[in-house]
Amino acid sequence: MREKIERDKDGRAGPGRASNYLEDGLSNPVILGFSLRTSSEALVESSKSNSLVLVTGQSFGGAVATLFTLWLLESLDLSKVKRPLCIAFGSPLIGDKQFGQCVLQFPLWSSCFLNVASIDDPVLQFFLTASQASGYKPFGTFLLCSSSGGSCFEDPDAILQLLVETSSRCAQNPGLNSGIQLFDYGKILNDLKTKALSRDVFELVEEDRVPLKAGIKTQLAAILGVLSSQQQQPNIEFESLMKKMVTHERKLAMQKMKVYSSSLKLNEIEKYMAYMEWYKEESKDMGIGYYDRYKNLRYASDLNAKEYKKRLSNYWEDTVAEAESKPQKEGAAMPAPFLFAGTNYRKMIEPLCIAEYYKKGGKDYIEERPRHFVLLEQWYNEEEENKRGEWEERENPQLRGASKPNSKAKNVPPNLNDDSCFWAHVEEALIWCNEQVSNPDAKPMTEFELYVLNMLDNFAVRDDIFLKNSSFMHWWNKYKVIVRSNYSSAFTEVMKRKTYRKYADGVSVRTDQ
């Protein structure tokens, strides 16, 4: 099956063109032929089979095929069907830098596009001059080729650089001046197939045997059929192109090293988290939770905790800001180790930020919550939702409703509060009590009661909230006076009967034992 030209009733050609150069090497491909009036719903339905959907086109039909594939990717549930593949032949560049960044938000999308392009094809150069001014950028994988051979590239800057440098090859090509004459990609692909079976062998001079330079020179030789300035083709400054490519690859290597350095920095910053873990447990042994201990700042070790909190916050504020500035990837916004570490940081350190906020007279932490905490929680919840969805797709229908993987056991209190803003809600409750202390008509805080009771039912809050000197118990002592003894609720019964005394052992607060 091949893509075909279809015509509307008025005789205009549809957007795609047949690609007669594809071998039957794919398993059951469905190659779509479509016109401007083809039912989009029917195409989506076609893609829901177990076959691979292949969208292809040449020249400006390749550009339309690319845009159509993007629409198809947006329309499909990719967790249930195979991703479509778009193979464009000699397509002009489409989309500017912002367009490319949108595609890069979903890296799996970028892998769905293969652009077969001859450096001698005039259509490929159609927007090249405009691209330098308006920012047209390539995306996907490019198989750049010529009669001499071909080589694959994925980095958009490297691809654009090669297209600019080789644009002079087709400057004399009359194709654009005499109507678009479709390039013969069938011959090019057949030549590449022959060359793949009988590879050329050549010897590099001594100064070119550095691995980076040798690799780039081999790629350029495959496309341009040249190895040195003495052998270069007319209108191509080979050595200049070599220098630019080497510089670009070194820049990419530095960026990869930066990612590696970030991992080392994460490992280094974790030692401060280890100290804060010790601080938390020591506080509990002292009979006061680490939240209230930090809030009071009575000991020399509290100052050390304040310094480590500052270092951790500086690191994560920068890390989150950097992640936010980059195009978001499909799935987690951060690599899993960073998201896991960031979640632990949020649950450990945000309570201390809350303590500082209210000690300085703040009134509404949630409204003024630092952005990096908001994003860390948002990204964590999105990742958990993705995991839950993936599990539900795989689970046995008879087991539906069973506990999901990655959910923590709900029979013991956590090491850190599930809700990192728990203490902010407690502080707001304390402010309410202070405002209502002399109001005989004060209404109970039913919403806050339900919030706390739900946290206790799910063992989602630490047991140190019940320590005698905690802010939570301080709130309760004020609250029970305001609502008076004749008021009763599920929450007040828990607190009055002290059924929370075995909460640390995993006993439900609703059980009086």
pLDDT score of 457 = 93
User: For residue 511, which of 450, 461, 457 has the smallest C-alpha distance?
Assistant: 457
- Length of the chain equals 513
Give the rounded distance of the alpha carbon of 431 from its chain centre.
Answer: 39
Distance CA 416, CA 187 (A): 65
Distance CA 327, CA 333 (A): 9
- The residue type of 190 is N
pLDDT score of 398 = 46
Check if the beta carbon of residue 32 is closer than 8 Å to that of residue 42: no
Instruction: List all residues 6 or more positions away from 496 whose beta carbon is below 8 Å from its beta carbon.
Output: 480
Helix (H, G, I), strand (E, B) or coil at 31: strand
Residue found by looking up tokens 């691209």 in the block: 131
Whole-model pTM over 0.85: no
User: For residue 291, which of 409, 380, 454, 419 has the smallest C-alpha distance?
Assistant: 419
pLDDT score of 342 = 93
pLDDT score of 252 = 65
Residue 93 DSSP label: P
List the structure tokens of 481. 């006076």
Half-sphere exposure for 118 (CA within 13 Å, toward CB): 24
Q: Give the chain's residues under pLDDT 50.
A: 1-30, 33-39, 130-131, 133, 172, 174-180, 201-207, 209, 228-232, 234, 329, 396-409, 513
User: For residue 33, which of 77, 73, 59, 68 has the smallest C-alpha distance?
Assistant: 68
The torsion angles phi and psi of 464, rounded to 5 degrees, stand at -70, -5
Distance CA 157, CA 138 (A): 8
pLDDT score of 138 = 81
User: How many other C-beta atoms are found inside a 10 Å radius of the C-beta of residue 24?
Assistant: 7
Long-range contacts of residues 209-215, Cβ cutoff 8 Å, at least 24 apart:
212/246, 212/249, 212/250, 213/242, 213/246
Residue 232 DSSP label: P
Distance CA 434, CA 427 (A): 11
What residue segments make up the domains of the chain, in order of their start? 263-407, 409-513
Helix, strand, coil percentages, rounded to 5, for the chain = 55, 5, 40
Helix (H, G, I), strand (E, B) or coil at 85: strand
Helices (runs of H) and strands (runs of E) counted in the chain? 17, 6
User: pLDDT tens across 81-95, in order?
Assistant: 778 889 999 888 887
Angle subtended at Cα 231 by Cα 229 and Cα 235, rounded to the nearest 5 degrees: 70
Paired residues of 54 in beta bridges: 31, 85
pLDDT score of 270 = 87
Strand 29-32, strand 52-58: pairing = parallel
